[in-house]
Amino acid sequence: MNGNRRGLRSRKCCARVLHRVVLIAIVGGVLLPIVPLLLWSVSHSWFFPQVVPSEIKLRAWSYIGSPFSKVLNALVNSLLVAGMVTVAAALLGVPAGRALGLRRFRGKAIVEFLILAPIIVPGLAVIMGVHVLFIRLGLVDTIFGVALVHLLPSLPYMIMVMSGVFANYNVEFEQQAYSLGAGRVRTFVQVTLPAVLPGMVTGALFVFLISWSQYILTVLIGGGRVITLPVLLFAFASAGDNAVTAALCIVFLAPAVLILLFTSRYLSGESGAMGGFGRL
Amino acid sequence: MSSVTLQHLTHNYTGSPAPAVDGLNLAINRGELLSLLGPSGCGKTTTLKLIAGLLAPTSGDVFFDDRRVTRVKPERREAVMVFQNYLLFPYMSIEENVGFGLRMRRMAKSEIAERVRRIMALMGLEALKERRPAQLSGGQQQRAALARALVLQPRVLLLDEPLSNLDAHLRDEMRELILSIQRSLGVTTIFVTHDQEEAVLLADRIALMFDGRIRQIGESRQFYERPSSRRIAAFFGNNNSLPGYKQGRLVSCDLGQLEVDSEVADGPVSLVIRPESILLGSGGINPFSAVVTRQIYMGTHNRYRIAVGGGQWEVVAPAEAGSALEGRRVAFSLPPEKIWLIKETGGFPETGG
């Protein structure tokens, strides 16, 4: 009895240590690459075989903060585009996901394949045709056009996530709400939305980050007029300015990390509504 | 409270070859507790949803009192449905769940609070008002779902299998609760069940459904004593039947000739008798004998299977000490007044009502 308990305690202790080690490894794996970025961003001269830069200057950061650089402009553009794409993807993806998740209809497999096609087919192959079309429609060189083209690789993810959510969703909750006297709008807001919101947040996160890191589509449709952070980043990287590139990288990372922090409670398995109401 | 009338109500799910509900006619009185009884897949729940307005009928009409409500949206119908799996909104407390319908009616907050408090007290839910649905037992969830419907004082209450998800002892308790609340509020109630015992215990009247149609409607006694088809007799636990041919006061069948006391017209009939109506022992009218194939001790009585006409009949008799009859040939008699005859028409012996 006694020995058994001791064995149990040591096993528990072991598990806790293992838990810590894995946690540290994961956090370290994510954070470690940021350390050289931080160092690069403040280095003035840093040559082999020095371990740390010999001279520290805040030139890159003061450039980024200065009103003459385009960084603030690019940041706003990036946020604007990613925001528009996310809203549009939600507006299109929720009803599409609902239809795919809840209904069975003829040709559903074909529809699903076509929705996934933009992920499978390289974007560059499609974009040339889209480019010509956009020129005709006057959508090139506009922020709106860039947002529109960003939907191409991101919308499939939203639809996939939402169709998964709705596949686990019990529509009878809505019928129950109607029966209790709730109209369509209030049923959607009070019953459907809370059930699918965690899934929507997950999908929105995908969409936002895909748009956020888009380069080629932005450059082609934006035509160098719509400057987003990745566009700026590539420019500095190819110009060989390591300090500014590193500082930009950190600026580029920040929103993604912030969003992840704010939405993490939706992503954890703890929220029971992860799969709609389906598994209650 | 309203009466409910269904007229030629039909619903065909898209892609399904046969209608789930097929030309249903049914009248439910004000304040009545009616049970829609039938095996799974017979269209009971579909009928309930048609009354609630959650499905649109392919054809036919629904009336509440004299008002045609076929095109009225569910949220305006004042017929509240309680689903089989309760469907309490998981992110709301029990109190918020119960108040949901009142909030949808934009009632004053104080009024809502008062009504919710009253119904929760009536249903014994006060202690649970802060809880989430997931923290409640099945019986508590059922009571909360019922409270959420009753607080709206609906004209018609629709219950879908209200007892089927509960344990046996909870089921008795919930049955009594539903019965007493229905009696005290007098709300017209239609409840769906597949369990004939439940229907008998709870309902004023039973409407029995097979294959999307109502086959017999009446008080529970009639289903035991005067089933309108062999299938209905079997559904109520009576498989003692034989085909026969009636001529005057006599029916000839596999057993031989029987004396009957029936108004049914001469011709092909099905003969039905309840297990407890068969008298074991010699003598009596219509005496026969058969071999007991199985004897089951049930505590207060014995259940025997006897070989009759190529099939098995069931006989229920008081358990007497030492009466081991298995394998022996016994005498029994069929009292004419207990024999129920069903008129059979041609080659379709299964279609009764």
Overall domain count for chain B: 2
Convert the pLDDT of each residue in A188-215 to its tens digit: 999 999 999 988 998 999 899 999 999 9
Q: Which of A170, A183, A280 sits opposite B75 (nearest CB)?
A: A183
- Do residues A276 and A199 lie in contact, with contact meaning Cβ atoms separated by under 8 Å? yes
Q: Is the pLDDT confidence value at B322 over 70? A: no
Domain boundary among B225, B250, B281: B225
Q: Please check whether residues B325 and B258 belong to one and the same domain.
A: yes
Most B CBs within 10 A among A105, A173, A179, hence the mutation to make, goes to: A179
Q: Please check whether residues B219 and B271 belong to one and the same domain.
A: no
When comparing pLDDT for A193 and A58, which is higher?
A193
For all residues of chain B together, what is the average pLDDT? 89
Contact A179 B54 (CB under 8 A): yes
**pLDDT at residue B351, as a whole number:** 39
**pLDDT at residue B352, as a whole number:** 38
Per the domain annotation, does B348 fall within a domain? no
Domain boundary among B202, B225, B248: B225
Q: Please check whether residues B108 and B252 belong to one and the same domain.
A: no
A-chain residue closest to B160, CA distance: A176
Per the domain annotation, does B140 fall within a domain? yes
Contact B80 A180 (CB under 8 A): yes
Only one residue has tokens 């014995």, namely B302
d(CA A127, CA A124): 5
Identify the CATH number of the domain in which residue B268 sits. Answer: 2.40.50.100
Q: Which of B52, B85, B91 sits opposite A179 (nearest CB)?
A: B52
Q: Please check whether residues B104 and B173 belong to one and the same domain.
A: yes
Q: Tell me: cis bond preceding A49? Omega within 30 of 0 counts.
A: yes
**DSSP, residue by residue, A189-255:** IIIIHHHHHHHHHHHHHHHHHHHHT--HHHHHHHTTTS--HHHHHHHHHHHT-HHHHHHHHHHHHHH
- Percentage of chain A exceeding pLDDT 70: 91
Domain hosting B279: range is 239-343
**pLDDT at residue A267, as a whole number:** 64
Q: Please check whether residues B298 and B212 belong to one and the same domain.
A: no
- Do residues B331 and B317 lie in contact, with contact meaning Cβ atoms separated by under 8 Å? no
Which residues does chain B have within 8 Å of residue A198's beta carbon, measured at their own beta carbons?
none
Contact B105 A181 (CB under 8 A): yes
Q: Please check whether residues B43 and B131 belong to one and the same domain.
A: yes
The model's confidence at residue A2, banded by pLDDT at 50, 70 and 90, is low
For the purposes of burial, counting CB atoms within 10 Å of the CB of A145, is it exposed (0-12), middle (13-18) or buried (19 or more)?
buried
Q: Please check whether residues B331 and B283 belong to one and the same domain.
A: yes
Per the domain annotation, does B46 fall within a domain? yes
For each of the domains in chain A, give its residue range(s) and CATH number, in order of start.
Answer: 2-56 (no CATH), 70-275 (1.10.3720.10)
Identify the CATH number of the domain in which residue B31 sits. Answer: 3.40.50.300
Strands B256-259 and B301-308: unpaired
Tell me the nearest-neighbour CA distance from B158 into chain A, angstroms: 10
Q: Please check whether residues B106 and B81 belong to one and the same domain.
A: yes
Mean pLDDT of B56-76: 93
The model's confidence at residue A35, banded by pLDDT at 50, 70 and 90, is confident
Convert the pLDDT of each residue in B122-143 to its tens digit: 888 999 989 999 999 888 999 9
Domain boundary among B170, B202, B225: B225
Q: Please check whether residues B258 and B208 belong to one and the same domain.
A: no
Q: Which of B85, B134, B152 sits opposite A180 (nearest CB)?
A: B152
Which residues does chain B have within 8 Å of residue A173's beta carbon, measured at their own beta carbons?
87, 89
Which residues does chain A have within 8 Å of residue B148's beta carbon, measured at their own beta carbons?
180
A36 Cβ contact list (under 8 Å, min separation 6): A246
Per the domain annotation, does B278 fall within a domain? yes
Mean pLDDT of A218-227: 90
Q: Please check whether residues B130 and B202 belong to one and the same domain.
A: yes
**pLDDT at residue B346, as a whole number:** 59
The pTM of the full predicted model, rounded to 2 decimals, is: 0.80
Which residues does chain B have within 8 Å of residue A279's beta carbon, measured at their own beta carbons?
none
Chain B residues within 8 Å of chain A (Cβ atoms): 49, 52-54, 73-76, 78-81, 83, 85, 87, 89-91, 100-101, 104-105, 133-134, 148-149, 152, 158
Q: Please check whether residues B308 and B174 belong to one and the same domain.
A: no
